[in-house]
Amino acid sequence: MSSSDTDNLTQLGGASALSATPEEAVLEKVANPVADAPYLVRFTVPEFTSLCPVTGQPDFAHLVIDYAPDQWIVESKSLKLYLGSFRNHGAFHEACTVMIGQRLVAEINPLWLRIGGYWYPRGGMPIDVFYQYGSVPDGLWVPEQGVAPYRGRG
């Protein structure tokens, strides 16, 4: 990666505070360093938190984000800070999961993306939410997300 690829990055390599809301959070991208090869990027977020929009109580999820990059990849520190901005964000599980997937699509325009939101129980039952953009590119190896159905998930 050349310095020109990282000149536009504002969060990498220094102190960065969490944004107050996901809308204010900055997602940064860099040029795909292997744009000539189909490959999959996976981010696993086992301790995602947001707030219930009705009660204000915390909600917890295990997120798995898979994508096949085109010209851009998401810079991982900015993704971590973006996901952290949900800590005080009140939204239903469905809204949080889909919002994250759609924001990534808008920022990096991947060939394909999927997000699995494996939410811990609210009201006695877990809610799993899945979002996909595009079709899996031919020849791309896409492993299972590896999150077991809820049984005291851990």
Q: How far is CA 91 from CA 22, 50, 83, in A?
A: 11, 7, 13
SS (HEC) of 59-103 = EEEEEEEEEECCCEEECHHHHHHHHHHHHHCECCHHHHHHHHHHH
Q: Is 96 a catalytic residue?
A: no
Reported as type and span, the H/E element at residue 47 is strand 41-51
Report d(CA 101, CA 66) in Å as an integer. Answer: 10
Q: Is 52 a catalytic residue?
A: yes
Nearest to 67 by CA among 142, 118, 2: 142
Among the options 7, 52, 96, 138, which is catalytic? 52
Among the options 5, 7, 36, 59, which is catalytic? 59
Positions marked catalytic: 52, 59
